[in-house]
Amino acid sequence: MEKRVGVLVGTKGRGSNLAGLAEAGIPISIVVGADSSAPVHGVALRYGLNWQEIGYEDGYGERLERAFEGCDLICLAGYLRLLPTTVTDRHTVLNIHPSLLPAYGGKGMYGLHVHRAVLEAGEKESGCTVHRVSEVYDEGEIVLQARCPVLPEDTPETLSARVLELEKLTYAAAVRKVLGA
């Protein structure tokens, strides 16, 4: 029997990690988002993925739990909120972060904020981390990391683009590892 993966997406991202998982052949059974007008909804439609909109109002955790019922794994893609424990207590949930955790993680550390901090600190390498989601931002068990050099001419945007390419490969590899595929 094929494993089932659910993906929970944020409202501000471009959908690049969702696209990367779909292109890698990850068996995505449902994509859940809070806003069908977000660009990531178009990505889900382009790949023919089942989309369900669930707003953040009361009962959010219970509605997420119902949406992901039967999923073997949940992947976050551009989702910037802490998940309700009703979800994390019952499911294995993975997230991808654009740094080599534990460095440059935590609330407010996402996207260009991370890459700007890496450059300001004078780091010589960066990368991405796939980790299990816990009740604290970016502190769950590390599943997989990938590294890339920080180049002298890098800007937050160029470093972001290079790390994003790593993210696509690394997230799919981590999902396969966790699913035992």
Strands laid side by side in the 93-97 sheet: 51-53, 28-33, 5-9, 73-77, 93-97, 125-132, 142-149
Q: 57's torsion region: left (phi>0), alpha (psi -120 to 50) or beta?
A: beta
Catalytic residue (one of 97, 113, 115, 131): 97
97 is catalytic: yes
Q: 106's torsion region: left (phi>0), alpha (psi -120 to 50) or beta?
A: left
Catalytic residues, which ones? 97
